[in-house]
Amino acid sequence: MLELSAVNSFYGKAHVLNDLSFTVARGQVVALLGRNGAGKTTTMKSIMQLVQPRSGKVTFQGQDITGMPTHKVAKLGLGYVPEERRIFTDLTVAENLEVGRQPPRDGTYAWTTDMLFDLFPNLAERRGNRGKALSGGEQQMLTIARTLMGNPSLVLLDEPSEGIAPVIVEQMVNVIKTLKADGLTVLLSEQNLHFARAVADMAVIIEGGTQKFNGTLEELNAHPEIRDAYLSI
């Protein structure tokens, strides 16, 4: 469904992604793992074309999206949940969702605000509140809900468990499982295995922008030395 082939991305002179290649198949949840600074966020941004790869190719549903304007990438059905959340703090919860709203595409789920409020009951209570009044966990849920409003077929989740309370992390795990059951494809990035273990089928480990491992979670569990070398424990 999503394929990166030999992607190289730079910030100015800094070479951040080095010949990165991996695929995400339909219906899978793939965990992109690596330490702080490994290039996970840059990978996400390179897929969304927020950072344009200097070489290599990104294809989504068979279509080359390299160099495409970000809004067109999003319209194709790629949903992006950034690490910094970036909710619109001056807008209410309902308005934040409105910004994300896009008509459903063929074969995707057609989300409504009510369905999302069922999925995230905390948000329902706060629909009239401004984004800046939300807690960190609520903000994280809002970013996911906002992205789902665009009815994406693949969601990029950049470090969804970062900086939120364990009880909320638990909720996030459930949400991702629900979404997966509904047929959504997910690429999520994490620094450690705990979250990935709960939801992911496949894992890709990167270090210094280079791929170090690509396989199922079972394979990764069978090789603790890989985990010790590239992930924080």
Residue 107 CB neighbour total at 10 angstroms:
9
Report angle CA 19, 143, 8 to the nearest 5 degrees: 10
- In this chain, which of 36, 62, 71, 225 binds another protein, going by CB under 8 A? 71
Which residues, in sequence order, are bridge partners of residue 3?
A: 23, 59
Interaction between residue 146 and another protein (CB under 8 A): yes
- In this chain, which of 74, 154, 169, 184 binds another protein, going by CB under 8 A? 74
Interaction between residue 10 and another protein (CB under 8 A): no
Size of the site for another protein (CB under 8 A): 27
Q: What is the 3-state secondary structure (H, E, C) of 135-196?
A: CHHHHHHHHHHHHHCCCCCEEEEECCCCCCCHHHHHHHHHHHHHHHHCCCEEEEEECCHHHH
Pick the closer one to another protein by CB: 18 or 70: 70
Which 77-96 positions form the footprint of another protein (CB under 8 A)?
A: 80, 82, 86, 88-91, 95-96
Q: Buried (b) or exposed (e) across 148-184, using 16+ Cβ within 10 A? A: bbbbbbbbbbbbbbbebeeebbebbbebbeebbeeeb
Pick the closer one to another protein by CB: 39 or 150: 150
Interaction between residue 118 and another protein (CB under 8 A): no
- In this chain, which of 3, 19, 83, 98 binds another protein, going by CB under 8 A? 98
CB of residue 93 vs another protein: minimum separation in angstroms? 12
Interaction between residue 13 and another protein (CB under 8 A): yes
Which residue matches tokens 């364990």?
166
Interaction between residue 70 and another protein (CB under 8 A): yes
CB of residue 195 vs another protein: minimum separation in angstroms? 23
DSSP 130: B
Interface mask (CB under 8 A) for another protein, residues 122-141, using x and -? Answer: --------------------
Q: By C-alpha distance, which of 209, 203, 232, 215 is closest to 31? A: 203
Q: In the sheet where 202-207 sits, what is the strand order?
A: 78-81, 154-158, 185-190, 29-33, 202-207, 210-216
Region binding another protein by CB under 8 A among candidate stretches 53-61, 70-78, 108-116, 197-205: 70-78
Binding residues vs another protein (CB under 8 A): 12-13, 48, 50, 69-72, 74-75, 80, 82, 86, 88-91, 95-96, 98-102, 146-147, 150
